Amino acid sequence: MTPAHAPPRESAAVSARTRSTPRDAAVFGSYLALVACSIVMLFPLVWMLSTSLKVIGQVYSFPPVLIPEPIVWGNYSEALAMFPFFLYLWNTLVIVAGVMGGNLLSCSVVAYGFAKLEGPGKNLLFALVLATLMLPEHVTLIPTFILFTKLGLVNTFWPLILPAWFARSAFSIFLLRQFFLTIHYELSDAARIDGANNAVIFWRIVCPLAKPVLATIAVFSFMGVWNDFLHPVIYLNDDRKFTLALGLLSMIDLTPGGVIAWNLLMAAITVVMMPMVIVYFVAQRYFIQGIALTGSKG
């Protein structure tokens, strides 16, 4: 039997819905703002895909046409035929592999030293490494170019690859060092009791545990090299050694009459962009995990 002072179920439910209304409105407003921001961020991508499927007349039409009519899939094959795509793809992959390997090896070794080894002035040295993040890369561009010129390495891939093998990326060192600090010292101490040295501990214990942050560094390295235009345009003079970024630039020079064929250029850009999108989505789980865990201990 329901007590006389107990409120009816209907009125309790109405009261609960009334109390939750402000919170629901805030959640709905947040989702609405996120959807609006997503549309703004995705519109350039949608416009690029739309332009890549248009005939040249629709590119310059006003008002702009979002859905091409007709859809011209042949723009992709025509765009890739305007420059040696597969040669430039191979050149880019060689540089990507060299830079990724150099960043992962050199930066992880330096970060391990900052995180797990003791020595005089270690914290000061780490502060100096972080201070290089405030130094624009363009400041060292001319001295670096003079150095590689005197070494006779200009117009080769070495100026694009070698710096990565000397722990050039302070940001990568910072991420790795912060992650290594989250690994308990008990693991290293147990390995030392079994006779392992620092090299074995680093390779057998630390690196397997650091897969998320290593994947993050690999993604950053891949994206940086894949999108890099400045360094290839400075160091590479032979068109047989061009990267994909320089290949896209050459498409502007190859257009007849000085009129940029935006439909073909957008088609080529779409193809060049796809590997980056695929790599990000494949490594997304490790990428987010690596970024999140680096801030758990300082």
Give kind and range of the element (H or E) at residue 258: none
Q: What is the pLDDT of residue 1?
A: 47
Cα distance between residue 127 and residue 257, in whole Å: 54
Q: Indicate whether 2 belongs to any domain.
A: no
The answer to whether residue 4 is domain-embedded is: no
Whether residue 288 sits in one domain with residue 168? yes
Q: Which amino acid does the sequence have at 228?
A: D
- 27 lies in a domain? yes
- Give 10-residue mean pLDDT values along the chain (298 residues): 52 51 78 89 87 83 81 87 91 95 93 89 90 87 93 93 92 91 84 85 88 88 90 91 89 69 88 87 70 53
Query: Residue 53 and residue 75: Cα distance in Å, rounded?
Result: 7
Q: Which residue has the tokens 């947040």?
A: 30
> 21 and 105 share a domain?
no
Pair (88, 71) in one structural domain: no
Give the amino acid at 278.
I
Q: What is the pLDDT of residues 191-239, one digit of tens each?
A: 888 888 888 888 888 888 888 889 889 988 998 899 899 999 999 998 8
- Is residue 298 one of the residues assigned to a domain? no
Nearest-5° angle of CA 87, CA 90, CA 91? 90
Residues 156 and 45 in one domain: no
Can you give the residue range of the structural domain that contains 176?
Answer: 80-293
Residue 236 is predicted with a pLDDT of: 92
Task: Tell me the per-residue pLDDT of 18-48, one tens digit each, with 9 for 90 and over.
Answer: 455 667 778 888 888 899 898 888 888 888 8
Are both 84 and 68 inside the same structural domain?
no
Q: Is residue 159 part of a domain?
A: yes
Clarify whether residues 217 and 70 are in a common domain.
Answer: no
Count of structural domains within the chain: 2
Q: Which of 55, 75, 95 is the last residue of a domain?
A: 75
pLDDT at 163: 92
Q: Do residue 41 and residue 127 come from a single domain?
A: no
Whether 237 is in a domain gets the answer yes
**Do 102 and 241 sit in the same domain of this protein?**
yes
Three-state secondary structure of 194-209: CCCCHHHHHHHHHHHH
65 with 208, same domain? Answer: no
- Are 243 and 98 in contact, with CB atoms under 8 Å apart? no
Of 44, 75, 106, the one marking the end of a domain is 75
Domain match, 182 and 254 both: yes
98 and 69 inside one domain: no
The structure's pTM equals 0.81
Is residue 1 situated within a structural domain?
no
Which helix (H) or strand (E) segment is 267 a member of? helix 262-282
* CATH number of the domain where residue 111 is located: 1.10.3720.10
pLDDT, residue 289, reads: 63
**Secondary structure (3-state) at 151:** coil
d(CA 226, CA 280): 13
Q: Which of these three, 20, 48, 75, is where a domain ends?
A: 75
Domain annotation covers residue 3: no
Does residue 143 share a domain with residue 280?
yes
How many angstroms separate the Cα of 126 from the Cα of each of 121, 174, 224, 261, 292?
A: 9, 9, 23, 49, 21
